[in-house]
Amino acid sequence: NALAGKLYYNAYTGGQRNLTGTVQIAEGLTATSAALKTGEITYKDKNGQGRYEAPAEPEDLPITTSETFEKDRVVNSTGETMMSVGHGTESPMVVNMNGHSLTMNFKTDERWGGKDGIKTERGQKIQVVNPDHKDITISMENTGGMANGIRAFGGEIEIQGPVNIEKVASKGLYGNGVLTFTEGAKITIDGPLKVHNVTGNKGEYTALKNVYDMNLTGIAANGPRSEVIVKGPVDIANIDGYALQ
C-alpha cells in the first residue's frame, strides 16, 4: 500500500477513469524474485492517491474447489453450502487439511430447499484428507426450513475424521446430521463421529402429523443401495426424532 500511495492520479478527482495500474510485492530485490502479491491499484476520491487493498483471505469463504489448508480453516455461511463441488471443478474434489482443523458455521432463515454443511450431487465426489486427525466441526442452524450437516444427494463423500456435528437446528420437520439421499449415494467417515442436537419444530409436527412425517435424524440412509459407513466410535445424542433411520 505504501508503494501504491506514491502514485497520484490528479484527474481522478474530476471524474476521469482512464488510468489503471497494478502493484507487485516480490521476495528479494531482483527481477527474478518470486512474487508474493499482485493486485490492482485503486484511487481515493478525495485526492486521487493510489492505494492497494489486499484481497480477502479464504477465511469464511465456502470450499468449492480442491484446496490444501495453510492454516486452521473457518467457513461461515448465511446461505451457501459450506463445502460442495463447484461448477467446473473436477471430481473428485480433494480437500487436504494439511495438519489443520476445519470449523464450519451455518446460519440462515431461508425457507426453501435443504441447507447443507457438506454436499455432493449425482456423479460428484468429495474427499477430505485428514491423516493427522484434526477436528472437523459443523454447526447448522436454519430458522426458516431444513438443515443437514453432511448430505450426499447422489455422489460420494469420504472424510477422515474425527467429525463433530455440534448442532443441526431446523425450523420445520426435516433435519439430519448425516444423510444419504437418492440411489447409490454413499458417505464414509473414517474415524469418530459425533452428532448432537438435531432439533426441529415439534409443535409444527403435532399440528401436521396426519399429513407429514417428522424426519429429524442423527444418521439416515435413504434411497436404494445408499450407504453411510462410519469406521470409528459413534456418539448420537439429543435428537428430536430418530438416532438412526
- The answer to whether the Cα torsion of 161, 162, 167, 172 is positive or negative is positive
Q: What is the pLDDT of residues 129-142, one digit of tens each?
A: 999 999 999 999 98
- Residue 10: CB atoms within 10 A of its CB come to 11
Rounded distance, CA 220 to CA 236, Å? Answer: 12
N-term to C-term CA, the chain: 56
Three cell numbers, residue 212: 407429514
Rounded distance, CA 117 to CA 195, Å? Answer: 13
Q: What is the pLDDT of residues 64-122, one digit of tens each?
A: 999 999 999 999 988 889 999 987 788 899 999 999 999 999 998 877 666 899 999 99
Tens digit of pLDDT at every position of the chain (245 positions): 677 788 888 888 888 888 887 877 665 544 444 445 667 888 787 888 888 766 655 567 899 999 999 999 999 988 889 999 987 788 899 999 999 999 999 998 877 666 899 999 999 999 999 999 999 999 999 888 889 999 999 899 999 999 999 999 988 678 999 999 889 999 999 999 999 999 987 655 454 454 445 578 999 998 889 999 999 999 999 998 889 98
Three cell numbers, residue 233: 466410535
Per-residue confidence (pLDDT) for residue 33, from 0 to 100: 47
pTM score, whole prediction: 0.74
